Amino acid sequence: MSELINGILYEKRHDIIINNMSDGIYYYFDYDERSFQVNMDFQHFHSFYEIHILLAKSASHLVEGIPYSIHAGDIVLLRPSLLHKTIYPQGAPSRRLIINFLYPQEYLDSHPAFSRILEPFGQEIPIFRFDQEKTAILSDMLNQVFLLSTRSMPADILNTMVHAEFTRFLYRLWELRSFNVYVPEKFESPLSEKIYQITSYIHNHYSEELSLESLAEQFYISTYYLSHRFRQVTGYTLIHYIQMTRIRSAQYALINTREKITDISAACGFTSFSQFNRVFRKFCGVSPSDFRRDPVTSSFPTHSA
């Protein structure tokens, strides 16, 4: 039974799946809830776009290692290959709507307007908060998608209608982007702020030589203190975090470019191809060449007949 939560039509475990990833244009709308007990240990990334809309009172979202507090109705936009993790508070499970979608490159090439309406996903802080009127406009568009999924119609008609409604949503979000009133809250402590300055630096300089010693010197902190506090704040060792960031970028390049794998290795900060191949296998379970031929798709829900 559906209900209206913060303006969004919601039904627990309701989903809408349009196509498989390999079929071309792909959509997955996931209406569900998550609790503190199932918070992910680590940040993760996808090769598709993701929209997270919180329907509960509050939560936190890590984006590229930086924590952001989010409230009911906030829209988190995650472009492909962006490290992220949602942290839900203790207590009752938090309801949320997650939308995953993917457009084939040839579709984007033939529809250049999509490059423009997807611009909000490239914002430095990809979180949007609007006033009540504008939030209602966007919510109503998503509710049209929900209502379409409850009607009996041929699959090809449903696919076309969902694509049309969601495209309207993306356009209106782009149109309203300048009315975003989201302001990040202050860090909980000077220590956390220092560590997150370092994670941000890693995301912007992963192609350069990075080490515990060089980062400690640059940010005026002892190597011992950085090593221990970095893991305390982020949940990762510093080296693991650097490697993860580099592999994330390599995955994106393997999927979305035709660059030589050796060039990708160097551009992502690896000092040798053998090191790149070893670290890539550790994180991904396959070689870079195998990944390029068949990108890992296990995180994509598949269409059920």
> How is residue 234 written in tokens?
């982020």
Residue 285 pLDDT:
86
Residue 39 pLDDT:
57
Architecture, CATH, for domain 3-179? Sandwich (2.60)
CA angle (233, 235, 237) in 5-degree steps = 100
Tens-digit pLDDT profile for residues 114-138: 989 999 999 989 999 999 999 999 9
- What are the DSSP E strand ranges found in the chain? 3-5, 8-10, 14-18, 26-34, 49-54, 58-63, 66-71, 75-78, 84-87, 94-102, 127-128
The full set of domain ranges for the chain reads 3-179, 190-293
pLDDT at 296 over 60: no
- Average pLDDT rounded to a whole number, residues 94-114: 92
304 band by pLDDT with thresholds 50, 70 and 90: very low
Contact predicate 78/51, CB 8 Å? yes
- Residue 194, Ramachandran bin (φ over 0: left; ψ between -120 and 50: alpha; else beta): alpha
Residue 171 pLDDT:
97
Terminal C-alpha separation, the chain: 22
pTM of structure: 0.78
pLDDT at 298 over 80: no
Tens-digit pLDDT profile for residues 45-59: 787 899 999 999 999
Give the whole-number percent of the chain exceeding pLDDT 70: 93
Mean pLDDT over all residues of the chain? 89
Domain 190-293 classified CATH 1.10.10.60? yes
Tens-digit pLDDT profile for residues 211-246: 999 999 999 999 999 999 998 888 789 999 999 889
